[in-house]
Amino acid sequence: MLVKLLSSSMKKMWKDYLVLLFGLTISIAIFYMFETLAQNQAFLEANALISSIVFVFHVGTFILALVTIFYIFYATSFILSLRQKELGMYMTLGAKKGKVTQMMFLETLIIGIFSLIIGLVFGVGLSEGIARLLMSRLDFSGEGFEAFYPSSLVTTILFYFVLFLLTAIVNAIRVARKSVLELLHADQKADTKTIKGWKTFLGTLIAIVLITVGYVAMINMGDLAHLGVLIAAATVTPGTYFFFMAMLPFLIKRIKAIRSINEKGLNSFTYAQLNFRVSQLTKVLGTVTMLIALGLGAMTAGLSFYHNTEIHSSLMHGYDIKVHQPTEDELAEMKNWELEERNLYSYRVTDDGVYFSKHDLQANPPVIKEIGGNLEELSKEVRLTDDLTAPVYTDEETDDAESIPEQWQTALRTELMANFYLFGDRTLYILDQEKFEEINASTQTVLIGKVDNFTDYTDTLAKIDERHHQLAIDYTGEDPTMIGSKYESYTSLKSLANGTIFMGLFLGVAFLMMMASVLMFKLLSSATADIERYQMLRKIGVRQAKLKISIYKELFLVFLFPGLIGLVHVLIGMEMFSFILIEPYTKLWIPISLFLVIYGLYYWLTVKMYQRIVLPKD
Partner 1 sequence: MTKPVVNVANAQKVFGKKSENQFKALDNVSFTIEEGEFVGIMGPSGAGKTTLLNVVSTLDKATSGKIEIAGQDITDMKQNELADFRSEQLGFIFQDFNLLENLTVYENIALPLSLQGVSSRKIKPLVIEVAEKLGIKSVLQKYPVTISGGQKQRAAAARALVHEPAIILADEPTGALDSKNAHSLMRTMEQLNQFHDVSIMLVTHDPLSASYCERILFIQDGNLYKEIKKTGDKQHFHQQILNVLAELTSIHSL
Q: Is 552 in the site for partner 1 (CB under 8 A)?
A: no
Is residue 15 involved in binding partner 1 (CB under 8 A)? Answer: no
> Is position 194 an interface residue for partner 1 (rule: CB under 8 A)?
no
Least Å distance between CB 254 and partner 1? Answer: 16
Assess contact for 413 and 448: CB atoms under 8 A. no
- The DSSP bridge partners found for residue 356 are 347, 430
CB 581 within 8 A of CB 304: yes
Reduce the DSSP state of residue 397 to 3 states and report it: coil
165 touches partner 1 by CB under 8 A: no
CA–CA–CA angle 360, 364, 368 (5° rounding): 115
Is the CB of residue 108 less than 8 Å from the CB of residue 167?
Answer: yes
Distance CA 531, CA 185 (A): 18
Q: How far is CA 59 from CA 34, 37, 55, 65, in A?
A: 12, 13, 6, 10
Would you list the DSSP string of 152-213?
A: HHHHHHHHHHHHHHHHHHHHHHHHHHS-HHHHHTGGG--------HHHHHHHHHHHHHHHHH
| C-beta of 194 vs 374, nearer to partner 1 | 194
Residues 382-401 that bind partner 1 (CB under 8 A): none
Binding of partner 1 by 533 (CB under 8 A): yes
91-99, 186-194, 356-364, 464-472 -> range binding partner 1 (CB under 8 A): 186-194
In whole angstroms, how far apart are CA 274 and each of 255, 306, 508, 592?
A: 11, 41, 28, 27
Q: Which residues pair with 349 in a beta bridge?
A: 354
Candidates 9, 102, 204, 262; binder of partner 1 (CB under 8 A) is 262
Using rule CB under 8 A, residue 272 touches partner 1? yes
Name the residue nearer to partner 1 (CB basis): 194 or 442: 194
Q: State the minimum distance, in angstroms, from the CB of residue 529 to partner 1.
A: 9
Answer yes or no whether residue 11 interacts with partner 1 by CB under 8 A. no
Cα–Cα distance measured from residue 326 to residue 446, given in angstroms and rounded to the nearest whole number: 7
Minimum distance of partner 1 from residue 242's CB (angstroms): 25
Within the chain, how many helices (H) and strands (E) appear? 23, 9
Query: Which part of the chain contacts partner 1 (CB under 8 A), choosing from 235-243, 265-273, 447-455, 571-579?
Result: 265-273
Residue 522: Cβ within 10 Å count: 25
The reply to whether 174 sits near partner 1 by the rule CB under 8 A is: no
Looking at the Cβ atoms of 276 and 602, the one nearer to partner 1 is: 276
SS3 215: helix
> In the complex with partner 1, which residue's Cβ is closer, 280 or 407?
280
Among 85, 435, 467, 538, binds partner 1 (CB under 8 A): 538
Is position 190 an interface residue for partner 1 (rule: CB under 8 A)?
yes
Told to check if 617 binds partner 1 by CB under 8 A, we report no
* By the rule CB under 8 A, 189 interacts with partner 1: yes
Per CB under 8 A, 252 contacts partner 1: no
Which residues, 275 to 304, sit near partner 1 by CB under 8 A?
275-276
Is 94 or 541 the residue whose CB approaches partner 1 more closely?
Answer: 541
Q: Which of 137, 539, 60 is nearest to 306 (CA)?
A: 137
Span near partner 1 by CB under 8 A; candidates 182-190, 305-313, 342-350, 572-580: 182-190
User: Residue 606 belongs to what H/E stretch?
Assistant: helix 589-614
What residue spans of 191-347 are helical by DSSP H? 197-219, 221-224, 226-242, 248-257, 259-262, 267-276, 278-316, 328-335
The CB-of-252 to partner 1 minimum distance in angstroms stands at 12
The least distance separating partner 1 from the CB of residue 187, rounded to whole angstroms, comes to: 9
181 near partner 1 (CB under 8 A): no
| Least gap, CB of 539 to partner 1 (angstroms) | 6
H-helix segments, 376-485:
406-410, 420-423, 433-438, 458-476
**594 touching partner 1, by CB under 8 A:** no
Residue closer to partner 1 (CB basis): 4 or 196: 196
What is the rounded end-to-end Cα distance, in angstroms, of the chain? 45
Interface region with partner 1, contact rule CB under 8 A, candidates 32-40, 223-231, 401-409, 539-547:
539-547
Give the nearer residue to partner 1 in terms of CB position, either 99 or 533. 533
In one letter, which amino acid is 1? M
Q: Is residue 525 part of the contact set for partner 1 (CB under 8 A)?
A: no
Interface residue with partner 1 among 536, 598, 601, 605 (CB under 8 A) is: 536
Is 236 a binding residue for partner 1 by CB under 8 A? The answer is no
Task: Provide the Cα torsion 75, 80, 86, 91; round to 10°.
Answer: 170
Using the contact rule CB under 8 A, the part of the chain among 28-36, 46-54, 184-192, 363-371 near partner 1 is 184-192
Residue 257 found at the interface with partner 1 (CB under 8 A): no
Q: Which of these ranges, 25-33, 264-272, 425-433, 598-606, lies near partner 1 under the rule CB under 8 A?
A: 264-272
CA 570/CA 290 separation, integer angstroms: 10
Any contact of residue 185 with partner 1 (CB under 8 A)?
yes
Beta strands 427-431 and 402-403, pairing class = unpaired
- Reference 550, options 526, 572, 530; nearest CA is 530
Of 169 and 272, which CB lies nearer to partner 1 in the complex structure? 272
| Mutual angle of helices 486-539 and 278-316, in 10-degree steps | 160
- Residues written for the chain: 618
In the complex with partner 1, the residue whose CB is nearer, 106 or 251, is 251
| 411 versus 523: smaller Cβ distance to partner 1 | 523
Contact pattern for partner 1 over residues 475 through 514, marking x by CB under 8 A: ----------------------------------------
Binding site for partner 1 (CB under 8 A): 185, 188-190, 192, 259-260, 262-269, 272-273, 275-276, 533, 536-546, 618
